[in-house]
Amino acid sequence: MIKENPKISILMCVYNEERFIRDAINSVLSQSYTNFELIIINDGSDDNTSNIIKEYSNDSRIKIYSPGRIGKIKANNLAFTKSNGDFLCYFSGDDLMSQDSLEKRIKPINDIFDKPAISFCRLITFSSNKKHDGIIIPRNKNKGNSTSGCQLFNRNFANLIFPIPEFLGNEDMWPTQYANYYPEVITKNISDIGLRYRIHSNNSSSKVDSFDKKTEGMHNRFIVYKIFLDKYKKILSQNNIDKLEALSLAEELRYNKKSLSILFISDLTLTEKIRFIFYSNRFLYLIRKKMFSFFSGW
């Protein structure tokens, strides 16, 4: 049964976003879907972010917490404990929501309360760098993007994933594993572009990072395959176990710069193999950076 106008909790964890935070908040406040709460965790900002956020403190839809510098995953875990929505989503302090973002993203799952459910929308990049501007990811209209700002999920799903393990490199890879592999999770991909993703020099995963910084950052993200597999191996299907083992092995080979060996992993798609290979070698990574728009979105 569809619950009329369910509430959405938007988890927004910010650190030093003085250049972008006002536009980000305003894009939430101008949503066509109006039954939401915006939970802002100020993660120890030492620029003007705190003062800008305080300008919105009289808005009853906004809850602001300033626990000091605790890190992004801890901040998201805290935001979850402060939420009371029927559905939840992530949002960053440097991005923008399309005006009908919440409305379009909740629609395919707004009648699902008894099982964990998540939707993934698409995004479009924007940047002062033309090479990084105006790219729709993914290009395939039948797929959504797994980055955190494209995820919207019900409370049942949230209760599965939280608290997110604090040693992981980011917050979006953990729920993605549940969407892909956990039993009985309902996953919906929508063609709508629900997020305008800003690319700039201070992104947590920057498009201009050196190879050494990028490979360490990716390793902190991709250890999620092994962690998830170890936690849930007893309840996963054999096909999903095989897939996670293949992804975990590919990450081990990528991190140790054994590019050719990745080609011989049988349970990976060609696209997955190419992704791991291009991030396993300094020269290939430079090619990947130069041809960002071509490789993005597949």
Number of residues in the chain: 298
Q: Where in the chain is the domain with CATH 3.90.550.10?
A: 8-198
Q: 3-state DSSP: the chain helix, strand, coil percent, rounded to 5?
A: 40, 20, 40
Whole-angstrom distance, CA of residue 3 vs CA of residue 175: 24
pLDDT at 281 (0 to 100): 86
Cis amide prior to 163 (ω within 30 degrees):
yes
Backbone angles phi, psi at 125, to 5 degrees: -80, 155
Whole-angstrom distance, CA of residue 126 vs CA of residue 196: 7
End-to-end alpha-carbon separation of the chain, Å? 36
Tell me which of 1.10.150.20, 2.60.120.650, 3.90.550.10, 3.30.390.50 is the CATH number of domain 8-198. Answer: 3.90.550.10
Predicted confidence pLDDT, tens digits, the chain (298 residues): 567 899 999 999 999 999 999 999 999 999 999 999 999 999 999 999 999 999 999 999 999 999 999 999 999 999 999 999 999 999 999 999 999 999 999 999 999 999 999 999 999 999 988 888 999 999 999 999 999 999 999 999 999 999 999 999 899 999 999 999 999 999 999 999 999 999 986 655 555 678 898 899 999 999 999 999 999 999 999 999 999 999 999 999 999 999 999 999 999 999 999 999 999 988 888 887 776 544 454 4
**Which tokens hold the place of 210?**
């050196």
Q: Given the structure tokens 């501007």, which residue do they identify? A: 133
pLDDT at 291 (0 to 100): 63
pLDDT at 208 (0 to 100): 60
pLDDT at 296 (0 to 100): 55
Report the candidate in 227, 242, 240 with the shortest Cα–Cα distance to residue 169. 227
